Amino acid sequence: MSVGHAPPTGTGEADRLLGPLVAAAGGASAVAVAAHRGGRRLLAAAGTTAHGGGPAADPRTPFEIGSVTKTFTALLLADMAARGEVGYDDPVDRHLPPGTAPRARGGPVTLLHLATHTSGLRRLPPGLLRSAAPRWYSNPYERFDTADLLTSLPRARPFARPGERMRYSNFGVALLGLALARAAGSDYAELLTGRVLAPLGLTGTGCTDGPDRATGYWRGRARPGWRIPGLAAAGALRSSARDLLRYLEAHLAPGTAAQGNGALRTALTEVTRPRLVAPPGRDRICLVWNARPRPGHDLYFHSGGTRGCTTFVGFSPQRDVAFAALANTSPTLRGAFVQRAYLTLRALAAAPD
């Protein structure tokens, strides 16, 4: 791959960031990165949007960002809580149709439980894998919609009481997004655009494919655009290196990013407040975000993957650092791309001023 775009900071610096990530993104035709450190920004991309052709990738190229979507859903929750439209301790069934609440073990599932992966709900809704099986190697979740999600709720069998154990749950965050949309009388995509994407100027981010998107690849094979209608709040967004950097910078400087929008300014701070310590006692869990203490600063981070793309985002408020990396290839078992991206974030935050 060759650098498709480099900012005024120089191709040498762009190559130093891109090179290790390109090497870790086996099977990708495009890799994009964005970095902010101490007020300086770098945006760069390598390759083309598809193997064998397509436009050159650049920092505006849309990629599927998978579970990084969850951090946007967390920000939406915090925004609505700041407005008084929902409460963190609201039982989720308060915002669902009658008879569709998940089974409870020892107490109600709250919105906060859903945002911290402590709801007791399993990773995926019951029935999803059965409907996904015929399309497992193409678009497994495309026929599981919001109605199916609601139907699955009474059949869900929690593995623990709410608040008792932490276990990552796409099901839980998808349910959170649905509850927020119903509380606002909207749908998830429209609500997120109005409350988060538009106010932050994220014009290249949304739940549908845009022009010149990066074609996703799984084991070297092109994949169709990711469709996940029933779990949109857990993994439906597309975004670019440019938009993700702007999004992360908003977390570094909420007052600047959300001028005149007190609810969003509060929300940008609230999502980084630790809620619990994850076993074995090292990381903190905020609203969706993982927080890892480092000497003199903290790292907040999350990753995402679809059938065809892998994304990593992270930031450190104390060090004024943010970093995003995207590749149009599915995650690997060893997580080489995500691990390399995390190490890049860690190095940026640890570097002397």
Cα distance between residue 101 and residue 271, in whole Å: 25
Cα distance between residue 208 and residue 189, in whole Å: 9
Distances (CA, A) of 89 to 75, 81, 178, 291, 353: 16, 10, 16, 22, 41
Cα distance between residue 239 and residue 341, in whole Å: 17
| pLDDT top residue among 127 and 346 | 346
Q: Reply yes or no on whether the pLDDT at 4 is more than 70.
A: no
Q: What is the mean pLDDT of residues 138-160?
A: 92
Q: Reply yes or no on whether the pLDDT at 143 is more than 70.
A: yes
| pLDDT top residue among 69 and 4 | 69
| Single-letter amino acid code for the residue at 256 | T
pLDDT tens sequence across 263-284: 999 999 999 999 998 776 689 9
- pLDDT attached to residue 13: 84
Q: What is the mean pLDDT of the chain?
A: 93
Q: What is the mean pLDDT of residues 218-240?
A: 96
| pLDDT-based confidence at residue 2 (cuts at 50, 70, 90) | very low
DSSP 312-353: EEEEEGGGTEEEEEEESSPPPTT-HHHHHHHHHHHHHHHS--
What sign for the dihedral angle of Cα 60, 311, 293, 174?
positive
Distances (CA, A) of 77 to 112, 142, 222, 259: 9, 25, 35, 19
Candidate from 63-72, 96-105, 174-183, 247-256 with smallest mean pLDDT: 96-105
- pLDDT attached to residue 353: 80
Cα distance between residue 251 and residue 339, in whole Å: 22
Query: Six-digit token pair at 54?
Result: 């397509």
- Taking the alpha carbons at both ends of the chain, their separation in whole angstroms is 31
| Contact of 348 with 37, CB cutoff 8 Å | yes
| Contact of 215 with 328, CB cutoff 8 Å | yes
Q: What is the mean pLDDT of residues 203-210?
A: 92
Residue with tokens 């400087």: 253
- pLDDT attached to residue 205: 98
| pLDDT top residue among 2 and 186 | 186
Cα distance between residue 16 and residue 46, in whole Å: 12
| pLDDT-based confidence at residue 10 (cuts at 50, 70, 90) | very low
Cα distance between residue 353 and residue 264, in whole Å: 30
Query: Six-digit token pair at 297?
Result: 């600063």
Q: Reply yes or no on whether the pLDDT at 191 is more than 80.
A: yes
Percentage of the chain beyond pLDDT 70 is: 96
**DSSP 3-state assignment of 90?**
coil
DSSP 117-149: T-S---SS-TTHHHHHGGGTTS-TTTT--HHHH
Cα distance between residue 75 and residue 79, in whole Å: 6
- pLDDT attached to residue 328: 98
| pLDDT-based confidence at residue 300 (cuts at 50, 70, 90) | very high
pLDDT tens sequence across 157-169: 899 999 999 999 9
Query: Six-digit token pair at 278?
Result: 């994850």
Q: What is the mean pLDDT of residues 85-96?
A: 97
Q: Reply yes or no on whether the pLDDT at 109 is more than 60.
A: yes
Q: What is the mean pLDDT of residues 20-33?
A: 97
| pLDDT top residue among 241 and 129 | 241
